[in-house]
């Protein structure tokens, strides 16, 4: 019988991270719920356990180097890492200041590199890392700082894939479109009817849609895929009559 995989999902207390943790647990993995909000982390871990899965919660800020060191030191092996934790804000380009870019890069880019740098040392051959970019890298108004950061993730993803290929570790990314999450609900520019007008498939995505893509890229079925970014946006990136 194959040894149970150990998977870490950062920012797994809600939205895409929560759905991904639940999906990987359903697939048989032991989940480490790495989340800044300890109560949310515990709720997700308890839910997984209540449905017969295996999970534990770790309260952690992915921008805290000491906390990352402490988390890594307690882990002997990690087979899957999903770098999901991230932030988003709506701000006109003219209102953006250097600190807006710094905060966005600290959480959405540097934390991805710093978590990965520590965890990859505990990954066996066959391990997989999945990073979260965004369909927004193709352009959106009032998100220059976010787009810059998520574009950097797309580049970092390719670099990491090459860095870790010799170790037998695959690195891929998922770029979600509009997904019905708490983060989407908090956006000051959210207009669901406007989103729908630009969706060829006629609906906004669900966290489970992204979780399915992440689970595939982390699975043995994707054993010959590395350095790629999978767009999961209901066709929004196709443009045409549905786009601007």
Active site residue 101: no
* CATH match for 6-234 among 3.40.50.720, 1.20.1630.10, 3.40.50.10860, 3.20.20.80: 3.40.50.720
**Catalytic, out of 101, 143, 146, 242:** 146
DSSP letters, 187-243, are -TT--HHHHHHT-TTSS-B-HHHHHHHHHHHTSGGGTT--S-EEEESTTGGG-GGG-
pTM of the model: 0.94
Closest listed residue to residue 72, CA positions, set 24, 106, 113, 120: 120
In terms of C-beta density within 10 A (0-12 exposed, 13-18 middle, 19 or more buried), how is residue 189 classed?
exposed
Q: Phi and psi (nearest 5°) for 193?
A: -65, -35
- Cross-strand pairs, 80: 7, 128
For the segment 136-190, what is each residue's pLDDT rounded down to a tens digit? 999 989 999 999 999 999 999 999 999 999 999 999 999 999 898 876 666 666 6
For the segment 214-236, what is each residue's pLDDT rounded down to a tens digit? 999 999 999 999 999 999 999 98
For the segment 13-55, what is each residue's pLDDT rounded down to a tens digit? 999 999 999 999 999 999 999 999 999 999 999 999 999 999 9
């Amino acid at each position: 019988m194959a040894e149970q995989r150990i998977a870490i999902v950062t920012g797994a207390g809600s939205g895409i991270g929560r759905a991904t943790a639940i999906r990987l647990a359903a697939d048989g993995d032991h989940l480490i719920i790495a989340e800044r909000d300890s109560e949310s982390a515990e709720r997700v871990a308890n839910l997984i356990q209540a449905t017969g899965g295996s999970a534990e919660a770790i309260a952690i800020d992915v921008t805290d180097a000491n906390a990352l060191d402490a988390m890594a030191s307690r882990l002997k092996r990690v087979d899957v890492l999903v770098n999901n934790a991230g932030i988003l804000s709506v701000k006109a380009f003219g209102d953006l200041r250097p600190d807006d870019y710094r905060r966005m890069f600290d959480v959405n880019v540097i934390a991805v590199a710093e978590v990965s740098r520590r965890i990859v040392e505990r990954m066996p051959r066959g391990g997989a890392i999945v990073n979260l970019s965004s369909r927004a890298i193709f352009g959106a108004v009032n998100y220059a700082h976010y787009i810059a950061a998520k574009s950097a993730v797309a580049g970092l993803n390719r670099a990491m894939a090459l860095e870790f290929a010799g170790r037998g570790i695959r690195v891929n990314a998922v770029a979600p479109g509009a997904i019905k999450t708490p983060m989407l609900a908090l956006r000051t520019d959210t207009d669901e009817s406007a989103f729908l007008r630009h969706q060829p498939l006629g609906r906004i995505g669900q966290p489970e849609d992204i979780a399915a893509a992440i689970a595939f890229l982390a699975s043995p079925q994707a054993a010959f895929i590395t350095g790629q970014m999978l767009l999961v946006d209901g066709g929004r990136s196709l443009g045409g009559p549905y786009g601007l």
